[in-house]
Amino acid sequence: MKAQILKMLRESEGFVSGQQLCEVLRVSRTAVWKAVNQLKEEGYQIEAVRNRGYHMVDSPDILTREELISMMDTDWAGQKIYYFDEIDSTNTCAKQLGEQGASHGTLIVAGEQSAGRGRRGRTWESPAGSSIYMSILLRPEIPPVNAPMLTLAMGLSAAEGLQEYTSLDIQIKWPNDIILNRKKLAGILTEMSTEIDCINYVIIGTGINVNMKQLPAELAKKATSLRLETGRIMRRSEIIALIMKKFEKNYQLFMENGDLRRLQEEYNNLLITREKEVRIIESQEEYDAYALGINEKGELLVRESDGTMKAISSGEISVRGIYGYA
């Protein structure tokens, strides 16, 4: 009920009468009054005026299941939401739900992670109440070999959503980082469960530094947050809802052909490594090359020093001026 009240108050430019809320929600005026008071206690600024009803004055950065439900504007992405104040890892939870049969588009969000992980098993800093930690569960009918492309689809969606919300110059570092002012703002971790030739489920986890006022000394030169860059507190629920809306659209474009050809131009336009000298770090070797952009498979196209063209499907890349690489 609280989610519906929040949605109705946000969608109204003026007051929403208690009677209208009662009729839509099919509850008593007392039930509405109690729910509104609970929302006020959570931090929402709701004005109540006799004979006029209720009006949303301000909605601070609050993250609850009801808040997230009230913000979603999608058909399937994030329509089923699990929210936790604290959890070990949203990806771990999503995998457990996947084994239990959770539906396509199920979204897991946490206020804090105690065991957040990044790519290649790295620890992801996950302080309480300041960032976005979310994982979406997908059940795509595609070959397992195509699943890594979904990381890039989410990267594009996160960059587009953050750019729309903040109007900042958000960029992508292939394959899974979001960059702001040459520092890491967000990271993406994709995991999946497969049979020989089919996918049981894919989990895409996204961590975004939003309202962190400071970062550990060892990360300060390489990472940043929206608050550090703007001085403003951002509403995490609105960012999540925007990213889900962008991802739903981009996922559909990806599924049309099972590749990134419909997203390739938009991705390359945001790619910070495009047309730059980069250092490629693969399992057996390191070498310098010139990055051109991604192809329809999500591989990074590079030109080696001898003019040879190469498509890179995995590995680490360093870009001069990014993350302290000189």
Over residues 247-263, the pLDDT tens digits come to 999 999 999 999 999 99
What distance in Å separates the CA atoms of residue 291 and residue 276, rounded to the nearest whole number? 6
Q: Which residues pair with 108 in a beta bridge?
A: 82, 135
- Residue with the two structure tokens 């699943």: 147
Summary mean pLDDT of the chain: 91
Question: Is residue 34 domain-resident?
Answer: yes
Average pLDDT over residues 129-135: 93
Of residues 232 and 281, more confidence is placed in 232
Domain count within the chain: 3
> Angle at which helices 18-25 and 2-11 pack, to 10 degrees?
130
How far, in Å, CA of 260 to CA of 269, rounded?
A: 14
44 and 115 assigned to the same domain? no
pLDDT of residue 207: 95
Same structural domain for residues 130 and 180?
A: yes
Residue 125 has pLDDT above 60, yes or no: no
pLDDT band at 179 (very low <50, low <70, confident <90, very high): very high
> Could you tell me the pLDDT band of residue 323, with boundaries at 50, 70 and 90?
low
pLDDT of 235: 96
Q: Round to whole Å and give the CA distance between 302 and 294.
A: 9
Q: Are residues 72 and 140 in the same domain?
A: yes
* Domain contains 324: no
Q: What is the pLDDT of residues 201-250, one digit of tens each?
A: 999 999 999 999 988 888 888 999 999 999 999 999 999 999 999 999 99
* pLDDT band at 326; cut points 50, 70, 90: very low
256 and 287 part of one domain: no
Q: Which residue has the tokens 């969000």?
A: 109
Q: Strand 131-138 to strand 107-110: parallel, antiparallel, or no bridges (unpaired)?
A: antiparallel
pLDDT of residue 315: 66
CA–CA separation, 220 vs 149, rounded Å?
A: 30
Mean pLDDT of 114-134: 68
Residues 89 and 38 in one domain: no
Contacts of 116 (CB under 8 A, 6+ apart): 89, 123, 124, 125, 126, 133, 207
Crossing angle of helices 2-11 and 29-42, rounded to 10°: 80
- Expressed as residue numbers, the domain containing 225 is 65-269
Across the range 158-166, mean pLDDT stands at 97
172/253 same-domain check: yes
Identify the residue with better confidence: 219 or 7: 7
Structure tokens at 181: 């002012």
* 263 and 117 fall within a common domain: yes
Q: Tell me, yes or no, whether 295 and 158 share the same domain.
A: no
Q: Is 325 a domain residue?
A: no
User: pLDDT at position 123, please?
Assistant: 56
Tell me the pLDDT band of 148, cut-offs 50, 70 and 90: very high
SS3 state of residue 124: coil
Percent of the chain exceeding pLDDT 90 equals: 79
Residues 134 and 258 in one domain: yes
What pLDDT shows up at residue 322? 61
Q: Are strands 81-84 and 107-110 parallel, antiparallel or unpaired?
A: parallel
* Contact (CB, 8 A) for 219 and 236: no
User: Structure pTM?
Assistant: 0.91
Assigned domain for 112 exists: yes
Residue 208 lies in a domain: yes
Flag whether pLDDT at 319 surpasses 60: yes
| Per-residue pLDDT at 169 | 96
Query: Which amino acid makes up residue 304?
Result: E
Q: What does DSSP say about strands 286-294 and 276-281: parallel, antiparallel, or unpaired?
A: antiparallel
Mean pLDDT of 11-38: 93
On whether both 203 and 315 belong to a single domain, the answer is no
Distance between CA atoms of residues 234 and 240, nearest Å = 11
- In-domain check, residue 81: yes
Determine the number of helices (DSSP H) and then strands (DSSP E) in the chain: 9, 14
Task: Name the CA dihedral angle for 16, 20, 21, 24, rounded to a multiple of 10 degrees.
Answer: -130
* Residues with Cβ within 8 Å of residue 163, at least 6 apart in sequence: 169, 170, 270
Q: Which residue has the higher pLDDT, 323 or 277?
A: 277
Whether 199 and 291 share a structural domain: no
- Residues 106 and 133 occupy one common structural domain: yes
**Stretch among 71-75, 119-123, 138-142, 314-318 having the lowest mean pLDDT:** 119-123
d(CA 185, CA 196): 36
